[in-house]
Amino acid sequence: MRRKKTSVRDVLRRAALPAAVFVVLAFFGAYAVAGPNGVLAYGDYKRQLAKRERDYAVLDKQRTVLRNRVALLDPDHANPDMVDEMVRKELNVAHPDEMIVPLNK
């Protein structure tokens, strides 16, 4: 039995498909590890989530304060002190015997 002599071209032709599959798998594997949504980005996502949860808590407190102020300004039964405070603040009006102390937050 005689063996057929294999040329370099035949070897390359047989290895082309497995090599192409390997390159594609390596690309997707690297993307899964180091890509923007990969394993290495997981820690950054956790930090962003914690920061946004803190921001949300601050905004939720502000929303609660504003909701309370809106309820106090309800036209059907407005709180006279709140209305007086807002009118004086918006119109920059004070009685002559009052002292204004600005509160900057």
d(CA 82, CA 65): 13
Question: Which tokens in the block code for residue 39?
Answer: 């394993």
Q: Examine the pLDDT at 25 and tell me if it is beyond 90.
A: yes
Task: Work out the mean pLDDT of the chain and round it to a whole number.
Answer: 86
Give the model confidence (pLDDT) of 35-77 as tens digits. 888 888 888 999 999 999 999 999 999 999 999 888 877 878 8
pLDDT at 77: 80
Residues 6+ apart with CB under 8 A from 40: 33, 34
Residues 6+ apart with CB under 8 A from 101: none
Query: Which sign does the torsion angle of CA 56, 59, 61, 66 carry?
Result: negative
pLDDT level of residue 17 (50, 70, 90 thresholds): very high
